[in-house]
Structure 1
């Protein structure tokens, strides 16, 4: 692809009908994207000229780069492997934390078999909940 030394903007009055439709669609999409974000994100995308550029920037702001996503995935797997119930935590709190971790892992494309997940949860419960854990296992 050859990049011209000088980029001269095209006069909108010389656009063909298909070009006018594309510009109109892009403007509509930009408006939708801009109206759907908060002020903090708005400051990051205000200088972009097309809906595609705005969308790509929003994606990076929300999801991070591929390297960031890979690191998040690795951190989540480490948290899963090291997951333990906290000392004075009830079974409901343990389950809520564990369930959130499993959901986050699935969002990052990491899936575990249901029986593995269930066993992991039961093995992380504190000793004071051993009786309930045994009943659930059976």
Structure 2
């Protein structure tokens, strides 16, 4: 059973990264010369239950993703026709191109370098804000050592 579930997960990831699965069959009308049969698209009337499941994976994955998106993001991807197109659009929206990534890193580094505890801010609030900046940097593959982080946070505390 576990291997069957893993196969479904592999199929799902395949359609996200490579596009919908085409249901194929060996073409017996063409002679096999190199050991591998020539493949053609399988007519729908010949589809097995497994073929139908694989063919529908794009719709299943799209439905799952639609249910997780907020209204603003949904409006940005609703014109995409396949889960692969949706995935690529989401990557573009969330990560951006290389220049956008560099800009995000620059902004996050600037925030990290200039972090100061605000007047009236509790230690918990300051810690949460600092961790948010550090986690953002980590997500952008800009990692600081624990020593650098500790020094930066201590310097950001008020003198009193």
Indicate whether 1:23 and 2:55 are aligned.
Answer: yes
**Greater fraction of residues in helix:** 1
Within a 5 Å distance, the mapping from 1:60-99 to structure 2 comes to: 60-99=92-131
> Structure 1 90/47 Cα, relative in aligned 2: closer, same or farther at 3 Å?
closer
Pair 1:34-2:66 in alignment:
yes
Gaps of 5+ in 2: 1-40
Structure 1 window deviating more from structure 2 (107-116 vs 24-33): it is 24-33
Segments of 5+ residues of structure 1 without an aligned counterpart are 1-11, 129-138
Structure with the bigger RCO (C-alpha within 8 Å, sep 6+) is 2
TM-score (norm 1): 0.68
Q: Is the counterpart of residue 48 in structure 1 residue 103 in structure 2?
A: no
- Offset, 1:21: 5.3
Task: Give the structure-2-normalised TM-score.
Answer: 0.60
Q: How many residues align?
A: 117
Check the 8 A contact 1:69/1:108 in 2, yes or no. yes
Q: Give 1:126 shift.
A: 0.9
